[in-house]
Amino acid sequence: NAGVTQTPKFRVLKTGQSMTLLCAQDMNHEYMYWYRQDPGMGLRLIHYSVGEGTTAKGEVPDGYNVSRLKKQNFLLGLESAAPSQTSVYFCASSYATATYGYTFGSGTRLTVV
Amino acid sequence: AQSVTQPDIHITVSEGASLELRCNYSYGATPYLFWYVQSPGQGLQLLLKYFSGDTLVQGIKGFEAEFKRSQSSFNLRKPSVHWSDAAEYFCAVASGNEKLTFGTGTRLTIIP
């Protein structure tokens, strides 16, 4: 019973490098989300998807791109990493609307030097 | 716009004592409200949720929360805390159907 799986769990990038974070869920959930968590700021929504092939911007989308080509996967890309993107990134999914609540992954700790 | 306020950044409680974590929300319609817990180095786990009916909601791990519309509050309570309850707690409100808006969290420390 995997739930929501995030890879990698840790990563160190140099400024200007690119990378992709992968989120996979095996619960047949429709909605998927990417949040970032920073001390004292709670969780801030980066992008989300309400179904396969759809994406939408959240609260802090700049510097990130996403894709949802398959229902079970939601990818978060950083094209040119900046130190301000040092954070812990969480993926979450919801059965249908957000009113069902989220299931979270265990997070990816990203450091940009 | 919807918002959630958790006024207490950090709370310290003795093991065995009661606990109340505060949450205030701003939302025009009947809210869907949630409490999540995050243990160190882990993701968030759902404790309980409210969407209608009885205003006192029971959750996992012995937690409960009470919805008070007149005060726009959804406070989390536990009669007797255990050392394993040390964690960060987040309140959230569903912003329409598409996403949750989270508070900034309350860190709970348990002292022996």
Using one digit for the tens of pLDDT, what is the confidence trace for B48-103? Answer: 999 888 889 999 999 999 999 999 999 999 999 999 999 999 999 997 788 999 99
- Please provide residue B91's backbone torsions phi and psi, each rounded to the nearest 5 degrees: -100, 145
**pLDDT number for residue B27:** 79
pLDDT digits (tens, 9 = 90+) for B4-47: 999 999 999 999 999 999 999 997 777 899 999 999 888 999 99
- The CA distance from B23 to A36, in Å, is 21
CA distance A102 to chain B (A): 8
Cα-atom radius of gyration of chain A, to the nearest Å?
A: 13
Which B residues in the span 68-97 are in contact with A, Cβ-Cβ below 8 Å? 90, 94-97
**Distant-in-sequence, close-in-space partners of A70: CB < 8 Å, separation ≥ 6:** A52
Which chain A residue's Cα is nearest to B50? A99
B102 touches chain A (CB under 8 A): yes
- Which residues on A lie below 8 Å from B41 (Cβ)? 107
Q: Give the per-residue pLDDT at A97.
A: 87
Across chain A, which has 113 residues, the per-10-residue mean pLDDT values are 91 97 97 94 94 96 97 97 97 92 96 97
In percent, the amount of chain B with pLDDT more than 90 equals 79
Q: Is B71 helix (H, G, I), strand (E, B) or coil?
A: helix
Residue whose pair of structure tokens reads 């409200």 in the numeric block: B33
pLDDT at A1: 65
* C-alpha distance from B112 to closest chain A C-alpha (Å): 26
